[in-house]
Amino acid sequence: MPIRIDGNEVSGVTLDNQDVSEVTVDGDVVFSAGTAGVPDLSQFTQQRTVTISNVSNLRGVDMKADGSRIYICARTAEEIIQFDLNFNFDISTLTNRQTFSNSNIEHGVAVSDSGNTMITANDNTMYQFHLTTPYDVTSATNQQQISISSFSNIFGLSFADGGDKLALTDADDAIEIFDLGTNEDVTTLGNVKTSGSIRSITRGLQLVDSGTRCIVIGDDGGGIDQFNLSSAFDASTASFDTNINANTNDPNGIAVVGNHMYEVGAQELVEYVA
């Protein structure tokens, strides 16, 4: 018996952004699904592409966990662009464009799970901002910075493990994963926890499945790669698994939320669904 919402049959159900494995009505099972988690990269297919007007050199992307807001780093404009989505995760419904400008914005953007912290980067330095209104980059204040001596140019950055860790990628091929002394506070990172070299010209990354997989995008024509980490959150144990094509002219950022994935490059924002 199929389950329908507004007359449309659906193949998955989520509640508060968590996969639902079973739905019952009057004691009868009307929907069942497999184990929750981020699907294998090979299952993602391009869903839609939109052009972000009046900007160029998009260099990073992040999506709020519930799919209601997306953040894009625009290098040339030196700003973080924030959009709401009328329909969660669907980039064809972008609305309410707002921006936060700062001369230190060059590469990458990540907003923490709590919505209280935003980070971006310029050369080998990360810049952290407190969001006085959670998830709203226009409320960014209290700029702090920290330099990574082992990197020449930070391109991709993302929080991991609920904000207890930070993952970075260099302009060349290095990935480094740090423990944070204070949750979601990159100024408290210690010495590099693990490091590894995986592919050339890396531009963005995200750790998924409790640190056992890493999704990486690059600007070398190689598309989007998935690496398995035999030891969770240990970049030195990464091994190549699979690859799909990128779909922007200048791939420079990646974000993965459940069965949705987003890529940015040049002026384009691409949505994938698994």
Distance CA 200, CA 6 (A): 46
Rg (CA), the chain: 18
Going from N- to C-terminal start, the domains of the chain cover: 1-36, 41-273
**Average pLDDT rounded to a whole number, residues 62-77:** 96
What are 137-168's pLDDT values in tens digits?
999 999 999 998 888 889 999 999 999 999 99
Structure token digits, residue 170: 């260099």
Confidence of residue 30 (pLDDT cuts 50, 70, 90): very low
Q: Is the Cβ–Cβ distance between 239 and 9 less than 8 Å? A: no
Distance CA 39, CA 94 (A): 25
Quick one: the chain helix, strand, coil %, rounded to 5?
5, 55, 40
Structure token digits, residue 98: 């707002």
The amino acid occupying position 30 is V
User: What per-residue confidence (pLDDT) applies to 13?
Assistant: 53
Fold annotation for 41-273? Methylamine Dehydrogenase; Chain H (2.130.10)
Helix, strand, or coil (residue 186):
helix
The amino acid occupying position 125 is T
Between 27 and 137, the higher pLDDT residue: 137
User: What per-residue confidence (pLDDT) applies to 5?
Assistant: 55
**Average pLDDT rounded to a whole number, residues 90-106:** 96
**Average pLDDT rounded to a whole number, residues 202-214:** 93
**Average pLDDT rounded to a whole number, residues 27-37:** 48
User: What per-residue confidence (pLDDT) applies to 1?
Assistant: 41
CB atoms within 10 A of CB 239: 10
User: What per-residue confidence (pLDDT) applies to 90?
Assistant: 97
User: What per-residue confidence (pLDDT) applies to 4?
Assistant: 52
For the chain, the average pLDDT equals 87
User: What per-residue confidence (pLDDT) applies to 6?
Assistant: 53
The amino acid occupying position 12 is G
Nearest Cα residue to 259 out of 110, 67, 60, 85: 67
CB atoms within 10 A of CB 179: 16
What are 220-260's pLDDT values in tens digits?
778 999 999 999 999 999 999 999 999 998 898 999 999 99
Among the ranges given (8-12, 34-38, 200-204), the one the predictor scored with the smallest mean pLDDT: 8-12
